[in-house]
Structure 1
Amino acid sequence: YKQVEIKLLIDQDATQTGILQGLEWLQKQVTKHDVGVIFFAGHGRNEPSIGYTFLPIDADPKELKLTSIGKDVLKRKLASLRGKILFFFDSCYSGA
């Protein structure tokens, strides 16, 4: 690879907004000739009313629909990326 660009979100930067902005950044950076690698590590929940959701650092367990990142949002974001994408996901407490 000629060039590797990294966007690292840890601790206080791994907010809902920060993660979604990071995915937007990746969408702008990855071309059809590139390989994008995404690694998520954190907590998740599997709720009957909303299904699987990833919990950013600022998630509110009482307001998961508004403060977490649902599987449908993740699927849409990942599907919109060009090139080859590797997605590694480590999500404790998701129950699945």
Structure 2
Amino acid sequence: MNELRRLSGAAASLAALCAVLPAWAYIAGIASFAGVYICRLVLVYRFAVRALDRVQPVHIPSLLNALVGRSDSTGIEQRSRRSRNPRDTPRSR
């Protein structure tokens, strides 16, 4: 119960702090967040292109899984093999 009171007090102080900020501070914060996000996407894209140029073809599915953020054991290559199987169509199930 004591943690809940502390949380509401922190939220109230944050709300009070945000209420005092001028509009240009909000606009600058949103613009800087968008700029950082776009720069991050560009850097990830450039590093991914370099990694795909240097990697052996066997490791491409695991690299793509890492870029997408998947951590499951079924790779892209195994999924595509399953989808190419003619017996695995929705009609035959």
Q: What interval of TM-score do these two structures reach, taking the shorter chain for normalisation?
A: under 0.3
Q: Would you tell me which structure has more helix in proportion to its own residues?
A: 2
TM-score (norm 1): 0.24
Q: Would you tell me which structure has more strand in proportion to its own residues?
A: 1
* Larger relative contact order (Cα-Cα within 8 Å, sequence gap ≥ 6): 1
